[in-house]
Amino acid sequence: MDEIYSVILVDATWMVYRDDGDEPVHTCASEQDAVDWCATDASGDEPRIRVYQGDVCLLTSQHARFRALLKALADTDAKDATRAEIFATLKAELIAHETIEEEILYPALQEFAQAEEIVAHSYEEHHVVDLLLDELVILSFADPAWGAKAHVLQENLEHHLGEEESDLFPKAKRLLGAETLADLGEEMDERCDEVLAEASARPDSKAVRPKG
Ligand SMILES: [Fe+2]
Ligand SMILES: [Fe+2]
C-alpha cells in the first residue's frame, strides 16, 4: 500500500508526518523540499502527500492579538488609565476564544485517540487562565499584586498559545482535514461574534472586537 504523508506549515517551518506516526519525521524550510523528501522516503512509487498551508482559520490571528494585548497590558502601571480598558478587552476576547475552542474545535478533535491527551491538557490550561482572570477581576488595579498576577497570566497564556500552535493546530489540520476545518472555522467565527456581542451588552464591558 502506498504511504500517506501530511506536510504542514507551522510558523515558518514545513513539518512532515507519516500517517501512522504522531511526531514529525522531517522538517525543512520549503514546501517543495518537504514534498521531495516524502518522494525520496516512500518505499512505494506513488506516496499520497497532503499539504496544509493555511492557519487554523481565525484562531491563529486571535493568538497574535492576545500577544499584543498582553504586551500592552504589561506596559501599564497602577496609575495608567488604559489598564482597565486593555484588561476588559483581553478578558472578553479571551473568553470568546476559549468558548469557541471548547465548544467547537476541541470536541471535534476529541473524536481522535491521537488528540485526546493534548485536548485534555488544553482544557486544563484554559481552566488555569480562567482562574487567573477571575482573581484579576476581584483585585484592585492599584494593588501591588495586580501586575505580578497579570505577568503570571501572560506567561501561562503565551505557553498555551505556543503549545496550540506547535501541537494542537497541526494535529487538527492532519486529523480533521482542510474541508472540515474550514467548516468549523465558519462556525467558530459566528459563535465568536455571538459571545462577544453578549459580553459587550453587559453594562460593565468596554470590550469591542477589532474589525478585520
Ligand atoms: Fe486554547
Ligand atoms: Fe487558542
Pick 7 or 150 by higher pLDDT.
Answer: 150
pLDDT for 54 equals 60
Size of the chain, expressed as the number of residues it contains: 212
Closest CA to 96 of 152, 128, 58: 58
Mean pLDDT on 73-100: 93
Order of strands, sheet of 13-18, starting from the edge strand that comes earlier in the sequence = 26-28, 13-18, 4-10, 48-52
Cell numbers for 57, please give them.
482559520
Percent of the chain residues topping a pLDDT of 70 = 92
Rounded to the nearest angstrom, the distance between the alpha carbon of 141 and the centre of ligand 2 is 26
pLDDT for 98 equals 97
Rounded to the nearest angstrom, the distance between the alpha carbon of 34 and the centre of ligand 2 is 27
pLDDT confidence bin for 1, thresholds 50/70/90: low
Q: Which ligand is nearest to the CA of 129?
A: 1
Q: Which ligand is nearest to the CA of 61?
A: 2
Question: Quick one: how far is CA 75 from the chain centroid?
Answer: 24
Rounded to the nearest angstrom, the distance between the alpha carbon of 160 and the centre of ligand 1 is 6
The CATH T-level fold of domain 59-201 is Four Helix Bundle (Hemerythrin (Met), subunit A) (1.20.120)
Mean pLDDT on 88-116: 95
Rounded to the nearest angstrom, the distance between the alpha carbon of 120 and the centre of ligand 2 is 14
pLDDT for 212 equals 35
Rg, the chain, Cα only = 20
pLDDT digits (tens, 9 = 90+) for 11-55: 778 888 887 777 889 999 998 998 899 889 988 777 888 787 665
Amino acid in the structure at residue 8? I
pLDDT digits (tens, 9 = 90+) for 176-211: 887 788 889 889 999 999 999 988 787 665 444 443
Rounded to the nearest angstrom, the distance between the alpha carbon of 1 and the centre of ligand 2 is 37
Rounded to the nearest angstrom, the distance between the alpha carbon of 79 and the centre of ligand 2 is 31
Q: Which ligand is nearest to the CA of 63?
A: 2
| Residue 56 CB neighbours (<10 A) | 23
pLDDT for 147 equals 93
